[in-house]
Amino acid sequence: MSLFRLDASIRTEGSVSREIADEVERAYLAAQPGAEVTRRDLGTAPLPADLWTTAVAAGYVSESDRTPEQRAAVSRIAELADEVLDADAVVIGSPLYNFGIGAHLKSWIDALITDPRFAPGTSPLAGRPVVLVVSRGGGYGPGTPREGWDHGSGWIARILRDVWGGDVTVVETELTLADVVPAMSELRPLAAEKRERARAEARAAGERAAAVTPAV
């Protein structure tokens, strides 16, 4: 059994998405003690900005006519795709930045889609459990002033579920900035409640993912 973990938070200390993803990983490993974990941290080590565009350009020419840069980009993306395809389960931490997903996480998804195995219509994650951890600094729920302003979480969930075919569980928490923004201080009890609920949901999702028998 194996788990692929992707973190996208630009914070290493105090990151709530990392904290919740930790719960998923711990629960998975508790249920599958011998499992391997492959980690990729886009927050601290983002992909090159031109990786996707170079790979796209490579798709318009024959392999023999590709530049060294294009061949390197295609090869690099194949390695990224292998990381995901070699795993029995996936957990992705996706903080909301500027009302959408992080640019570095978007670049990773764009890059993977250029690999033929991840092109639309291929469903490379069919039957595999995918846990998407979403964290939001403010409140975006029904009735809040920012309702409908999260333009990233639905998009990435659709990619993982409808384009790549994963069995997706979304674990969400919000008001994560309440502890550090004085103007949000009265929301701290609610933020703590949401965070604890997300931790419990993450543990349950990790356990479910570990219980899925890999396809032979």
- Residue pair 55/70 in contact (Cβ under 8 Å)? The answer is yes
Q: What are phi and psi of 98, to 5 degrees?
A: 50, 40
Q: What's residue 214's pLDDT?
A: 72
pLDDT at residue 210 is higher than 50: yes
For 83, the domain range is 2-211
* Percent of the chain topping pLDDT 90: 98
Query: pLDDT tens across 167-180, in order?
Result: 999 999 999 999 99
DSSP state of 14: S
Structure tokens at 43: 């927050």
pLDDT at residue 109 is higher than 70: yes
Query: pLDDT tens across 182-196, in order?
Result: 999 999 999 999 999
With 0-12 / 13-18 / 19 or more C-beta atoms within 10 angstroms meaning exposed / middle / buried, residue 8 is buried
Q: How far apart are CA 84 and CA 166, in angstroms?
A: 11
Residue 216 maps to a domain: no
- Residue pair 183/139 in contact (Cβ under 8 Å)? The answer is no
Helix (H, G, I), strand (E, B) or coil at 204: helix
Q: How many domains does the chain have?
A: 1
Residue 134 maps to a domain: yes
Residue 27 maps to a domain: yes
Query: pLDDT tens across 91-105, in order?
Result: 999 999 999 999 999
Q: Indicate the pTM of the whole model.
A: 0.95
pLDDT at residue 216 is higher than 50: no
Residue 28 belongs to domain with CATH number? 3.40.50.360
